[in-house]
Amino acid sequence: MKHLLIPFFLLIAGATATAQDHSGSYLFGTLTTTSGEQVEGFIRWGKEEVFWSDFLNATKRSNPYYQYLNREDRQYVESGNAHWLTEILNEAVEINTQGMHSFSAPFGAVAWVKAAGGIAMEVKMRNGDQWMFRSGSNDLGATLRVYDRQGQERSFAWENIDQVVFRAAQPGWADPFGGPLWGKVETAHGTYTGRVEWDHDERVGRDALEGESEGKDLSIPFTDIRAISREGRGSVVVLTDGNTLFLSGSNDVNAENRGIIVFVPGQGAIDIPWDEFKRVTFIPETAVSASYDDFAQPAPLRGKVEHVDGRIFSGEIIYDLDEAMTYETLNGRLDLSEWEIPLSSVASVRPRNFQYALVTLKNGSELLLGRMQDVSEANDGLLVFPSTGEPVYIPWEKVSQVRFE
């Protein structure tokens, strides 16, 4: 899975932004090169991640929780569970049933990242967890850009990077990005308002929308754009000065667009495919973007798991035999869109059938999500660590409901 949010936008509070200083929401830290040089500043990870609420993605190559399964339960998990649809799901949405799971967590939950040869990286989370990743996304092996106090950019190839240590931004530094894109996105199945990522990469005001209009190649900063609508083989772009253009010939504005992601306060991130996208209207921020300090207190997942036979198991929960912390995420599909929801925002999950589960969020919203491992019969099941006694494994097919604290 890819690559959604307390504390991503102070979601529960849903506070209204009162200032235009976005520096606290940007990645910041010290990059150390292989030659020992240290460079401090704002960081852009590859051509994409800029914000603490953006996700670091990779694939976990091992699973420390398998040791708690008995032989029968291990065989059950390794068999890919017991339904004929599993093989189809594996092929359709890249579900993995052999113990490898995706990793997705906001950069704000990360203490440091260390290059580990090739495209590998070692990651230490702020709660002390450490991971070694060797695959799973373009976050591994990315070129990093660091912006100094005056906003000057320097680029660093992955092979020249030793380590990146994150911390809160210092005051008084120039803004190299121009703030987040905030908008109202209309789709075939609803309208969502939040922080927007266009074509999976453009996400700040100084990023540009590229395309061709009347035989000319254009590159338009998002700060100059009021709205974008899908239209035929291109897009209609309304500028802030009132002019309207039809752009085509670029994956920014045609069917090659990789999708529009909307980080919705209190709900998560929705990755909307081009075929379901209709229009985005850019508006002023309506919530405060998270700072590094907002991610300082990750906690283990805790709650109750209700068995179909009526028993209730309480304690620390390992969801999908994988996710153990509040900074990790739950993934599922609604129509063609993919949702990524921080488990800190999830109140309960109730399986409905072998494909779908009803996910209730702490803000009261309900989503019927399916066709991905976290919410389908491909889920590897749950481990519950009670305050006393041995951990209990509950296969997904035996789960009536999961309720998180």
Separation CA 163–CA 229 (nearest Å): 41
Amino acid at 74: R
Tell me: do 212 and 272 sit in the same domain.
yes
Question: Taking residues 186-206, what's their average pLDDT?
Answer: 96
Say what the pLDDT of residue 92 is.
46
Query: Where residue 2 falls among pLDDT bands split at 50, 70, 90?
Result: very low
Amino acid at 210: E
DSSP 8-state secondary structure symbol assigned to residue 101:
E
Counting residues of the chain whose pLDDT is more than 90, the rounded percentage is: 79
Tell me: do 108 and 137 sit in the same domain.
yes
Q: Tell me which residue range forms the domain holding 326.
A: 299-404
Within-domain flag for 87: yes
Within-domain flag for 125: yes
Residue 375 makes CB contacts below 8 A (sequence gap 6+) with 330, 331, 332, 349, 351, 356, 357, 359, 369
Q: Which of 282, 314, 342 is the last residue of a domain?
A: 282
Q: CB–CB of 223/205 below 8 Å?
A: yes
Q: CB–CB of 268/339 below 8 Å?
A: yes
**Of the candidates 335, 302, 328, 314, which has an alpha carbon nearest to the alpha carbon of residue 405?**
302
Tell me: do 361 and 231 sit in the same domain.
no
Tell me: do 273 and 317 sit in the same domain.
no
Tell me: do 89 and 127 sit in the same domain.
yes
| 3-state secondary structure at position 105 | strand
In angstroms, how far apart are the furthest CA atoms of the chain?
A: 71
Query: Where residue 4 falls among pLDDT bands split at 50, 70, 90?
Result: very low
pLDDT in tens, 323-364: 999 999 999 999 899 999 999 999 999 999 999 999 999 999
Within-domain flag for 294: no
Angle at 391 between CA 327 and CA 123, to 5 degrees: 30
Within-domain flag for 189: yes
Output the pTM of the full model.
0.88
C-alpha distances in Å from residue 66, one per residue of 47, 72, 319, 321, 344: 36, 12, 13, 8, 24
Within-domain flag for 31: yes
Residue 315 backbone class (left: φ over 0; alpha: ψ -120 to 50; beta: rest)? left
Q: Are strands 356-361 and 28-33 parallel, antiparallel or unpaired?
A: unpaired
Count: domains in the chain: 3
Tell me: do 46 and 158 sit in the same domain.
yes
Tell me: do 277 and 335 sit in the same domain.
no
Question: Taking residues 383-388, what's their average pLDDT?
Answer: 96
Tell me: do 131 and 35 sit in the same domain.
yes
- Average model confidence (pLDDT) for the chain? 90
Query: Where residue 289 falls among pLDDT bands split at 50, 70, 90?
Result: confident
Separation CA 103–CA 55 (nearest Å): 9
Within-domain flag for 291: no
Within-domain flag for 321: yes
Q: Which of 140, 166, 192 is the last residue of a domain?
A: 166
Residue 89 predicted with pLDDT over 50: no
Query: Where residue 101 falls among pLDDT bands split at 50, 70, 90?
Result: confident
Tell me: do 234 and 195 sit in the same domain.
yes
Tell me: do 221 and 264 sit in the same domain.
yes
Tell me: do 318 and 220 sit in the same domain.
no
pLDDT in tens, 20-68: 789 999 999 999 999 999 999 999 999 999 999 999 999 988 888 999 9
Spacing of C-alpha 203 from chain mean position: 14
pLDDT in tens, 124-165: 999 999 999 999 999 999 999 999 999 999 999 999 999 999
C-alpha distances in Å from residue 98, one per residue of 63, 120, 216: 10, 21, 50
Tell me: do 27 and 160 sit in the same domain.
yes
Say what the pLDDT of residue 21 is.
85
Query: Where residue 297 falls among pLDDT bands split at 50, 70, 90?
Result: confident
Q: Which of 166, 198, 228 is the last residue of a domain?
A: 166
Give me the sign of the Cα torsion angle 243, 246, 250, 254.
positive
